[in-house]
Amino acid sequence: MNAAAYVLVALDIPSRALSDPFTYAVPSDLVDDAVPGCTVLVDFNHRPALGYVLALGGTPDALSRRTPEEPSRAGRARRGLDLRKIKPISAVLAGPACSDLFAEISFWMSREYVAPLSECLRLFLPPGGTPRLRRRDDGSYALERPAVPEAHERVVSLTPEGQDYVPPKTATRQRQLMEALACGPVTTRELNLLYTDLSAAIRSLAKKGVVRVDERRAWRGIDDATTLSSAKGTAPRQLTKGQQAALSAIDAAAQDGCGDVVLIDGVTGSGKTEVYLSAIERVLSRGRTACVLVPEISLTAQTVGRFRSRFGQAVAVFHSRLSAGERLDQWDMVRSGVARVVVGARSALFCPLRDLGLIVIDEEHEQSYKQGSSPRYHAREVAAQMARLGGFPLVLGSATPSAEALARCRQGSHLGQRWTRVEMPERPGSAKLPDIIVADLRREFSGGGRSVFSRPLREALLDVAERREKAVLLHNRRGFAPFLMCRDCGCVPTCKHCSTALTYHERTHTLECHTCGSVYHVRPYPAAGSACPKCGSRYLAKMGMGTQQVEDALVALLPDDVKVIRMDADSTRGKDAHKQLLEEFDAAECAVLLGTQMIAKGLDFPEVTLVGVVIADYALKMPDFRAQERAYDLLEQVAGRAGRGDNPGRVIIQTYLPNDPVIQAVAKHDRALFVEHDSRQRREALYPPYVRLTNVLVWGRNEAAARSYASELARITARNLEMLPQMPSSGMSPLLMGPTSCVIERAKDNFRFHFIIKSPVGLDVSSAISSALSEVGAKPGINVSVDVDAYDMM
Ligand code: ADP
Ligand code: ZN
Ligand code: ZN
């Protein structure tokens, strides 16, 4: 065969062993189609396989020069290649459908996060599952995507000749149709909503040439209409000083073209979203596109509405509540260029935007930007890499920036990329930061108070009712979900297959495992037959307090004419329930919105004058070095819901730990207090951002086999770490701790072991681990996960 060109192909086989791409030749009849990003059919070990073209070149050597990020192993293998032995690709099955950066970013992620290349590539592919190969009768292969049919809609409009047509008096339906079309084209779906069946009328008027019917592609998933007044994105007449400073920093970064990072450190309500909107306007006017990441939890109709009312049809939205069809349509809107702005959760980063000119990550500190399954990437790091490669700015925004972002801005750069912080310490107009009152629950209890609400919170709630205002009440149930505990021996029932504590569900009288889903029927005290699984005592009683209990207390406290709206996992199960509850709250004259952490973020209701936190202590004492940062962020965010309008706001935080630095920092509006305390702890105990933290997890049903595999992998990894060029300037050498049993020792009948690596920032831990993995090799029944920059270490 005469090869016209060569391509580097990633096989669609999710295996660490096949993670490296392979070189194939392109026959001359396929040379026009085999472009980077397309899907090809190749022969691999005498079997047909799907692959994705990563790079194209005139010679195999040209490929390695074109992909500097590529793992060295593949590069070495290819240099020894005998040109005659390179197999040709058999067919091009689908054209390119990815963002420009997909190949380089996939390589980078695969290396950085020690993940199979195909898993990283899949992030960029159209939604709807893995495509399959189908063998046709004639022996050839076809690509089969999971069937998600495209939606179409039919638009009815008047023809120029039809403008003056007057239907006969008796033709009621025709007259209705003419009336409906008088102001412009209408879809058949809308016509059928407005009138009962008009299809016969449409047919007969179409035959007369009065109306015409056109079919066009319908984009499912943009039907997000909301009555929320704050979902408007009208530009303010004048930007604040802080906003102007932020925009000039973004402009400077764009001019620079090096992929600089700008951190907007702005208190809640300081107008960060407005900065994003203005920055995007500028990017669009330069003919480029923009991607905005928002935590899933704040991807509400309100947030989306602000972007849609500014940029209209050009906005595609991605969140987990979309159906498969909606997701595919939104993706197609981006690919076809109809949408030039994308707003979405973490994975929106991978949608097929071309000419990307800006990435914004709102609430940059949010934990949901870290993916919990392979590839275990952090959206901030991937976005920074994209910005670097694409030479466009990355904008991060937060009222409580992560320790990582703050440290990089303090240094001014991180791994060669410039990081700049811009402060926005004030709210626009007359809106002031709320007063914060700490209610000491210890004192309340010693005074005989046994209510859910302390005296200050009780009085403030009654005040709100009297003044006909609105309040937001946070009851974070994380760590506070009801569970059963034996009052005699302190035993908390755990799952038989996992070592996690079980959550109690009152309505069904069941204990449920949130790791594996097992359900156990129980009768807690005082029911007859209640018994502790350990000591047999009958005092196995319910602990913790659910949102429903707080709701009952609220209803009992407040007059009947105050609307109480509860928002938690149970009350927001329906597709639009979340939006409907918020609209109810918006429309009410006087109301209390009670909810879990889902109400803490992003909501902008100017009439809210009181924010209460039922109990602030849940997270302060969790065995996780980020727990305090999370607690601080949550309190700061929820406090930020108060006083966004003309009336001043008040915040009341109930706690048993009034002197905790987190509570003190929130109460005094003094973040430095918290940051100092938190940084000192992290520096002393060697935690990020001062080091990089990697967690390697090994699990299997056979305890001894899992343990010995973990030991072997740890030993080789430690040796590889020592062989890396060390970084004396960091003042530390890499540390490997373990392996030990995980905090959750067992999950789904698997025994879990892990080891942790603390390494200087900039050291290539990933390569030490991936070469250890290939040296030790895969073992049947043993699973390994590598989590670079780990968040969850349980
Ligand atoms: P953040 O994203 O920082 O929480 P927002 O962008 O939601 O803040 O702004 C808070 C409120 O202030 C919104 O109601 C917004 O419309 C308003 N706002 C923002 N910028 C300005 C400005 N320059 N002048 C007046 N109002 C503004
Ligand atoms: Zn379980
Ligand atoms: Zn007991």
Confidence class for position 642, pLDDT limits 50, 70, 90: confident
Nearest ligand 1 atom to the CA of 234 is 16
β-pairing verdict for 608-613 and 650-655? parallel
| pLDDT of res. 481 | 61
Cβ pair 259, 250 in contact under 8 A: no
What's the 622 CA to ligand 2 centre distance in angstroms? 21
| pLDDT of res. 31 | 87
| pLDDT of res. 516 | 73
Q: pLDDT: is 139 or 456 the higher one?
A: 456
Confidence class for position 648, pLDDT limits 50, 70, 90: confident
The DSSP code for 466 is H
Confidence class for position 643, pLDDT limits 50, 70, 90: confident
DSSP H helices, 150-240, are: 172-181, 188-194, 199-207
Output the residue whose Cα is nearest ligand 1's atom 11: 269
d(CA 665, CA 629): 11
Tell whether ligand 1 has an atom less than 6 A from the beta carbon of residue 302: no
> What residues are paired with 142 via a beta bridge?
134
493-502 average pLDDT score? 78
d(CA 774, CA 776): 6
Which residue's structure tokens are 């040796």? Answer: 719
| pLDDT of res. 171 | 84
Nearest ligand 1 atom to the CA of 362 is 2
| pLDDT of res. 448 | 47
Cβ pair 591, 585 in contact under 8 A: yes
What's the 434 CA to ligand 1 centre distance in angstroms? 16
Distance of CA 647 to the CA centre of its chain: 33
Structure tokens at 317: 């939205």
Cβ pair 470, 593 in contact under 8 A: yes
Q: pLDDT: is 569 or 210 the higher one?
A: 210
Indicate the SS3 state at residue 785: strand
Tell whether ligand 1 has an atom less than 6 A from the beta carbon of residue 272: yes
653-662 average pLDDT score? 87
Lowest mean pLDDT among 154-168, 489-503, 559-573: 489-503
Tell whether ligand 1 has an atom less than 6 A from the beta carbon of residue 344: no
pLDDT per position as a tens digit, 10-46: 887 766 555 678 899 999 999 888 888 888 889 888 8
Residue 524 has pLDDT above 80, yes or no: yes
The DSSP code for 500 is P
* Type of residue numbered 358: L
> What residues are paired with 501 via a beta bridge?
494
Structure tokens at 672: 């430095």
Output the residue whose Cα is nearest ligand 1's atom 20: 271
Nearest to 603 by CA among 504, 471, 499: 471
Residue 146 has pLDDT above 80, yes or no: no
Confidence class for position 789, pLDDT limits 50, 70, 90: very high
Q: Which of 241, 274, 304, 430 to mutate to test the pocket of ligand 1 (most atoms within 8 A of CB)?
A: 274
| pLDDT of res. 56 | 86
What's the 541 CA to ligand 3 centre distance in angstroms? 10
Nearest ligand 1 atom to the CA of 238 is 23
Tell whether ligand 1 has an atom less than 6 A from the beta carbon of residue 273: yes
> What residues are paired with 264 via a beta bridge?
397, 422
Q: Which long-range contacts (CB under 8 A, 24 or more apart) does 72-76 make?
A: 73/20, 74/20, 74/21, 74/22
What's the 495 CA to ligand 2 centre distance in angstroms? 5
301-307 average pLDDT score? 83
| pLDDT of res. 758 | 93
Nearest to 618 by CA among 438, 475, 439: 475
| pLDDT of res. 441 | 78
747-761 average pLDDT score? 92
| pLDDT of res. 128 | 67
d(CA 506, CA 503): 10
Output the residue whose Cα is nearest ligand 1's atom 10: 269
> What residues are paired with 702 via a beta bridge?
none
Structure tokens at 462: 């009654």
| pLDDT of res. 237 | 81
Q: Which long-range contacts (CB under 8 A, 24 or more apart) does 441-444 make?
A: 441/615, 441/654, 441/655, 441/656, 442/656, 442/658
d(CA 256, CA 31): 37
| pLDDT of res. 18 | 59
Radius of gyration, CA atoms only, the chain: 30
The residue count for the chain = 794
Residue 68 has pLDDT above 50, yes or no: no
Mean pLDDT of the chain, nearest integer: 84
Strand residues in 606-674 grouped as ranges (E): 608-613, 650-655
| pLDDT of res. 65 | 44
108-135 average pLDDT score? 82
Kindly state the percentage of the chain with pLDDT values over 90.
Answer: 37
Q: Which long-range contacts (CB under 8 A, 24 or more apart) does 443-451 make?
A: 451/553
d(CA 228, CA 215): 32
Confidence class for position 70, pLDDT limits 50, 70, 90: very low
Structure tokens at 617: 């202590």
Instruction: Beginning with the edge strand found earlier in the chain, give each strand of the sheet holding 735-747 in spatial order.
Output: 735-747, 750-759, 692-700, 783-788
Ranges 233-237, 419-423, 627-631, 666-670, most confident = 419-423
pLDDT per position as a tens digit, 320-379: 778 778 888 888 889 888 899 999 999 999 998 989 999 999 999 998 899 999 899 999
Residue 231 has pLDDT above 60, yes or no: no
The DSSP code for 255 is H
Confidence class for position 154, pLDDT limits 50, 70, 90: confident
Q: pLDDT: is 442 or 705 the higher one?
A: 705
> What residues are paired with 25 via a beta bridge?
6, 88
Is pTM beyond 0.75 here?
A: yes
Q: pLDDT: is 500 or 289 the higher one?
A: 289
Lowest mean pLDDT among 50-59, 493-502, 590-599: 493-502
Confidence class for position 67, pLDDT limits 50, 70, 90: very low
497-521 average pLDDT score? 79
| pLDDT of res. 424 | 93
| pLDDT of res. 275 | 96
pLDDT per position as a tens digit, 71-117: 444 444 445 567 778 899 988 887 776 677 888 898 899 999 999 88
| pLDDT of res. 75 | 44
> What is the three-state SS of 91-156?
EEEECCCCCCCHHHHHHHHHHHCCCCHHHHHHCCCCCCCCCEEEECCCCCEEEECCCCCCCEEEEE
Cβ pair 249, 422 in contact under 8 A: yes
Lowest mean pLDDT among 361-370, 387-396, 485-494: 485-494
